[in-house]
Structure 1
Amino acid sequence: MVGIHAAEHPRHLLADHSKKQKIAASIMILYRYIVYQVIAGFAIATAILLPLFSFFDLLDQLDDVGKGTYRVSDAFLYTVMLLPRRFIQIAPFIALIGTVIALGKLAVHSELIAMRVAGLSPLRISLAPLSIGVVLLLGVAILEQFVAPQLQQRAITYRANALELTVELGRNLGIWTRNEHSILRIGQIVHNTRAADIEILQLDSDGFLQTHTLAQYADIVGNDVWQLSNAIIRTFKDDQITAARADTIHWNSFVKPDDIATLTKPPESLSPIELAKHVEFLRSTGQDADSYALALWRKIGSALMTIAMLLLSIPFVFGSIRTGLSNKLVFATLIGITVYLLDQIIANTGLILRLNAAFIALVPSIVMILIAGFWLRRTF
Structure 2
Amino acid sequence: MTIINRYLALQIVMGLGIATAVLLPLFGFLDLLDQLDDVGKGTYRVKDAFLHTALLLPRRFIQLAPFIALLGNVVALGRLAVGSELTAMRAAGVSPARISLASLSVGLILLSLITVLDQFVAPQFQQKAISSRAVALEKSAALGKHLGIWTRDERNILRIGEMLHAGKAADIELMHFDDNGFLLTYTYAGYADFIDGDLWELRDVTTKTFTGNGIESVSTASMQWKSFLNPDDISTLTKSPESLSPIELFFHVRFLRSTGQEVDAYALALWRKGGGILTTVAMLLLSIPFVFGSVRAGLGNRLVLASMLGISVYLFDQIVANAGLLLHLNPALTALLPGLVLIALAGLWLRRIF
For normalisation by structure 2, the TM-score amounts to 0.98
Q: Which ranges of 4 or more aligned residues in structure 1 deviate by more than 6 Å?
A: none
Q: Whole-Å Cα distance in 1 between the matches of residues 16 and 143 of structure 2?
A: 38
Between the aligned residues of both structures, percent identity stands at 62
Shift of 1:169: 4.1
Alignment root-mean-square deviation, CA: 0.9
Matched, 1:304 2:278: yes
1:246 paired residue number: 220
Moved more, 141-150 or 340-349: 340-349
Moved more, 292-301 or 121-130: 121-130
Alignment of 1:165-176 (within 5 A): 165-176=139-150
Shift of 1:221: 1.6
Matched, 1:75 2:49: yes
Structure 1 residue ranges without an equivalent (≥5) = 1-26
1:11 paired residue number: none
Structure 2 residue ranges without an equivalent (≥5) = none
Matched, 1:122 2:77: no
Q: Whole-Å Cα distance in 1 between the matches of residues 295 and 77 of structure 2?
A: 9
Matched, 1:316 2:287: no
Q: Whole-Å Cα distance in 1 between the matches of residues 235 and 196 of structure 2?
A: 15
1:51 paired residue number: 25
2:302 paired residue number: 328
Contact 1:169 1:187 in 2 (8 A): no
Task: Give the letter aligned to residue 288 of structure 2.
Answer: I
Shift of 1:168: 3.0
Shift of 1:316: 2.0
1:155 paired residue number: 129
2:138 paired residue number: 164
Shift of 1:378: 1.2
Contact 1:108 1:325 in 2 (8 A): yes
Q: Whole-Å Cα distance in 2 between the matches of residues 108 and 213 of structure 1?
A: 72
Query: What is the number of equivalent residue pairs in this alignment?
Result: 354
Q: Deviations over 1:16-44 (max 9, x none)?
A: xxxxxxxxxxx222221111110110000
Moved more, 74-83 or 30-39: 30-39
Contact 1:92 1:307 in 2 (8 A): yes
Matched, 1:89 2:63: yes
Task: Give the letter aligned to residue 236 of structure 1.
Answer: F
Larger-gyration structure (1/2): 1
Task: Give the letter aligned to residue 206 of structure 1.
Answer: N
Q: Whole-Å Cα distance in 1 between the matches of residues 5 and 300 of structure 2?
A: 24
Alignment of 1:225-374 (within 5 A): 225-374=199-348
Q: Whole-Å Cα distance in 2 between the matches of residues 300 and 279 of structure 1?
A: 15
Contact 2:142 2:149 in 1 (8 A): no
Q: Whole-Å Cα distance in 1 between the matches of residues 296 and 105 of structure 2?
A: 25
Shift of 1:330: 0.2
Q: Whole-Å Cα distance in 2 between the matches of residues 112 and 244 of structure 1?
A: 82
Task: Give the letter aligned to residue 110 of structure 2.
Answer: L
Task: Give the letter aligned to residue 204 of structure 1.
Answer: D
1:33 paired residue number: 7
For normalisation by structure 1, the TM-score amounts to 0.92
Q: Which of 162, 182, 187 does residue 188 from structure 1 map onto?
A: 162
Shift of 1:211: 0.2
Q: Deviations over 1:162-190 (max 9, x none)?
A: 11222234101111100110000001112
Contact 1:107 1:322 in 2 (8 A): no
1:61 paired residue number: 35
1:139 paired residue number: 113
